[in-house]
Amino acid sequence: MNMTTQNLSANLLVELFVEELPPKALKKLGEAFASTLAASLQSQGLAQADAVVTPFATPRRLAAHITAVAAQAADKAVSQKLMPVSVGLDAAGNATPALLKKLQALGADASAVSGLKRAMDGKAEALFYDSQVTGVLLADGLQKAVSEAIAKLPIPKVMSYQLAQNCEMPGWSSVSFVRPAHKLIALHGKDTTAITVLGLKSGRETLGHRFEAAVSPVVIADADSYAATLRKDGAVIASFAERRAEIERQLVAAAAKAGAADGTTYTPIDDAALLDEVTGLVERPNVLTCAFEKEFLDVPQECLILTMKANQKYFPLLDAAGKLSNQFLVVSNISPADASAVIGGNERVVRPRLADAKFFFDQDRKKTLESRVAGLDKVVYHNKLGSQGERILRVRAMARAIGQQLGGDALAAQADQAAHLAKSDLVTDMVGEFPELQGTMGRYYALNDGLSTDVADAIEDHYKPRFAGDTLPRNQVGVVVALADKLETLVGMFGIGHLPTGDKDPFALRRHALGVIRMMTELQLPLDLSGVSACAAIAFPSMQAATLQLMYTFFYDRFSGMLREQGFSAQEVEAVISQSPERLCDVPKRLAAVRAFAALPEAAALAAANKRITNILKKAQEAAVVDPHVSEILLKEPAEIALFAAMNEVAPKAKAQFEAGDYTASLQTLAALRAPVDAFFDGVMVNAEELDLRLNRQGLLKSLHEAMNRVADLSKLAT
């Protein structure tokens, strides 16, 4: 091959120009297109592993810039297994017809037989053919790479559309893609690489901004000038990241300007998802400041913020206290000399949305939450679990029971009231229009009805935590109702067999379980799982023991994963969780104790001994139940006498520390048993022939095992 051609390399630019792409998916589409394209070129030897890949994505284009792409991949030596020697050569060592046919298929003749290599392949000797494979040309490799990049885009649905009459795919009448594609660029340095994709032949032309491009079409001279040329001639910021940063910069500047006019400090609402979506809607952002009538501020700001963000993609402005302003920011895709028409148009569009919110709020307040409770009987919760009204009765029963455990009659009564009204806002007009506001509107309506702040806050907070990192309920009433609500969902769904499978969790049971765990641990709630079971039994009297056990396992699995994410090792977590601790709030303290114990010089030996004891007892208990009772009369060997004495001295102290909740001290006290335990295993035969001696020694080990494993199963720490 021509070595000059092989060694030529230049930066590569590929762009697919299409009609408007889905804005919420644009960032992922751009990243996926670039990464898949680069990976394919690298696998074909056309791009280096350390090539710099730069993705570009705008509403109307996906593109990628890749450094140092070769015009042709390097040749490579290939060793191909042909067949066993016994099949390829006869007794005289001559090639068999099967071998000659195989070589012919590879483009070789009989002269290649003498050059074949022989090597062991498993238990038999095989023939191998070494050849030099010519490196792929960029045009061929890029055709494959772009096709792969398009095929692997994370698109849930594609559309089919007719190709133009002059397309480069004769015989095709239509193609399928996320949006109709119109132009294709493939530049290797300054040169166009000829490929055909989606009926488009590659060139160097694209289109800029729909209204503000300086020229049309925009001609790209070389791969490296793509972004600069699009910005200059096309009025387009091609990089998603740069466009997002520019929007963010303009938002901050516009907020500061608006605040200066009012003498107030404003910040645009912090919403990364909204910022990504708006970045996917514009090619040349221009942030403008708009305003609405102050009378709308009488409506709860959550309603106004939601309608501006969800319906209009606007950025509300908040003051230093988080209070909504009547000014808001719009990210326009055009930059006219006089922006008044754009500003006026956006203000006219948002006004009816805010008027609807005000109307819903005013209408909803004409009825109390109490008067709406009966309407929940008509709202289906689940066909096997009844209506929301029936569900509320179960939540109330659980809330009363949990409230009684945590705070007596007063807390139980408040929790019952909050649980009774917690779902009433589901049948309001506002929540019907904006389901995201359930709970939030319930709080406003509860305060409007004259209910206490504790109950009103609990109505909003009983959904918390809604997601990872979310805040917990702000008061004890909210905690009780949140626990009852989540536990009712878990017990109910587990009871009818609706368990999460793989990635599917339609009822968010994992999130509910983590919410319960967070409340019990972070708030140090003095609740144990058996107490929770009793509360669940009140709401579900026909609940099976197997359902509870399944739910406990689910809790421990979720807790284990959460703890590992927090930095605890799998061994530490397993040591504690394998003991199925009743009080989840104790688990963090137990883990801290295990970590402190593991740092002691005696830890490794005691963990190994514990593992040995576990195995001995397991085998012994296969024949009969091992009794932890020890008879001093049957203690014969000095080492077992010494161990028994040490246990009588150490175990009561460790147990008292455990019962006082000082788990670290309890484990450190047990470290004193290392020497007598080591001596016991060095000098005592546990499985003695005499039955009474054997049972007594097993009982001694059983007592030791129980004393050592109250905090955690130390055998899990053995390597």
Q: What is the DSSP string of 386-401?
A: EEHHHHHHHHHHHHHH
Residue pair 402/484 in contact (Cβ under 8 Å)? The answer is yes
Higher pLDDT, 485 or 75: 485
Residues of the chain with CATH 3.30.70: 3-73+137-234
Indicate the length of the chain as a whole number. Answer: 719
Distance CA(624)–CA(638), nearest Å, equals 27
pLDDT at 168: 53
Residue pair 308/328 in contact (Cβ under 8 Å)? The answer is yes
Q: How confident is the model at residue 150 (pLDDT cuts 50, 70, 90)?
A: very high
Distance CA(694)–CA(685), nearest Å, equals 8
347-367 pLDDT tens trace: 999 999 999 999 999 999 999
For residue 692, the surrounding DSSP H or E stretch is: helix 691-708
pLDDT at 175: 79
pLDDT at 669: 94
CATH fold group of domain 591-717: Isoleucyl-tRNA Synthetase; Domain 1 (1.10.730)
Residue pair 147/158 in contact (Cβ under 8 Å)? The answer is no
Q: Please say if the pLDDT value at position 4 is more than 50.
A: no
Distance CA(93)–CA(81), nearest Å, equals 18
391-419 pLDDT tens trace: 999 999 999 999 999 999 999 999 999 99
Higher pLDDT, 535 or 344: 344
Residue 194 buriedness (CB in 10 A; 0-12 / 13-18 / 19+): middle
Residue pair 541/394 in contact (Cβ under 8 Å)? The answer is no
Residues of the chain with CATH 1.10.730: 591-717
Q: How confident is the model at residue 2 (pLDDT cuts 50, 70, 90)?
A: very low
Is the four-CA dihedral 333, 339, 344, 347 of positive or negative sign?
A: positive
Q: Please say if the pLDDT value at position 715 is more than 50.
A: yes
Distance CA(714)–CA(719), nearest Å, equals 11
Q: Please say if the pLDDT value at position 298 is more than 80.
A: yes
563-615 pLDDT tens trace: 999 999 999 999 999 999 999 999 999 999 999 999 999 999 999 998 998 88
Least Cα distance to 671 among 583, 716, 604 occurs for 604
Distance CA(632)–CA(651), nearest Å, equals 17
pLDDT at 532: 83
Put the strands of the sheet holding 53-58 in their side by side order.
53-58, 61-70, 9-18, 181-188, 191-192
pLDDT at 122: 81
Distance CA(53)–CA(39), nearest Å, equals 10
φ, ψ of residue 499 in degrees (nearest 5) = -95, 150
For residue 705, the surrounding DSSP H or E stretch is: helix 691-708
Average pLDDT over residues 111-117: 83
How many C-beta neighbours within 10 Å does residue 24 have?
Answer: 12
SS3 187: strand
Residue pair 666/658 in contact (Cβ under 8 Å)? The answer is yes
Average pLDDT over residues 11-37: 96
Average pLDDT over residues 131-153: 91
Residue pair 182/206 in contact (Cβ under 8 Å)? The answer is no
φ, ψ of residue 629 in degrees (nearest 5) = -70, 140
Q: Please say if the pLDDT value at position 167 is more than 60.
A: no
Name residue 57's beta-bridge partners: 62
How many C-beta neighbours within 10 Å does residue 221 have?
Answer: 12
Q: Please say if the pLDDT value at position 511 is more than 90.
A: yes
Q: Which of 210-219, 380-389, 452-461, 524-533 has the least mean pLDDT? A: 524-533
Distance CA(483)–CA(233), nearest Å, equals 59
Least Cα distance to 135 among 8, 31, 259 occurs for 8
Domain 374-567: give its CATH code.
1.10.3210
Residue 368 buriedness (CB in 10 A; 0-12 / 13-18 / 19+): middle
**Taking the CA of residue 347 as centre, how many other CA atoms within 13 Å lie in the half-sphere pointing to its CB?**
16
Is the four-CA dihedral 319, 321, 325, 331 of positive or negative sign?
A: positive
**Per-chain mean pLDDT for the chain:** 92
Q: How confident is the model at residue 240 (pLDDT cuts 50, 70, 90)?
A: very high
pLDDT at 1: 39
Q: Please say if the pLDDT value at position 3 is more than 70.
A: no
For residue 62, the surrounding DSSP H or E stretch is: strand 61-70
List alpha helices for 222-332, DSSP H. Answer: 226-234, 240-262, 272-279, 301-306, 312
SS3 416: helix
Q: How confident is the model at residue 172 (pLDDT cuts 50, 70, 90)?
A: low
605-660 pLDDT tens trace: 999 998 998 888 888 876 667 778 898 899 999 999 999 999 999 999 999 999 99
pLDDT at 627: 79
Average pLDDT over residues 100-126: 84
- Mention the CATH class of domain 3-73+137-234: alpha beta
Whole-number percent of the chain with pLDDT over 70: 97
For tokens 């009609």, what's the residue? 19
Q: How confident is the model at residue 215 (pLDDT cuts 50, 70, 90)?
A: very high
Token pair of 694, please? 């054997």
pLDDT at 619: 84
pLDDT at 129: 84
pLDDT at 622: 67
Q: Please say if the pLDDT value at position 163 is more than 90.
A: no
Q: Model pTM?
A: 0.81
For tokens 């109910």, what's the residue? 492
In sequence order, which residues have a C-beta less than 8 Å from that of residue 169 and are 6 or more positions away? 163, 175, 196, 199
Whole-number percent of the chain with pLDDT over 90: 74
Q: Please say if the pLDDT value at position 304 is more than 90.
A: yes
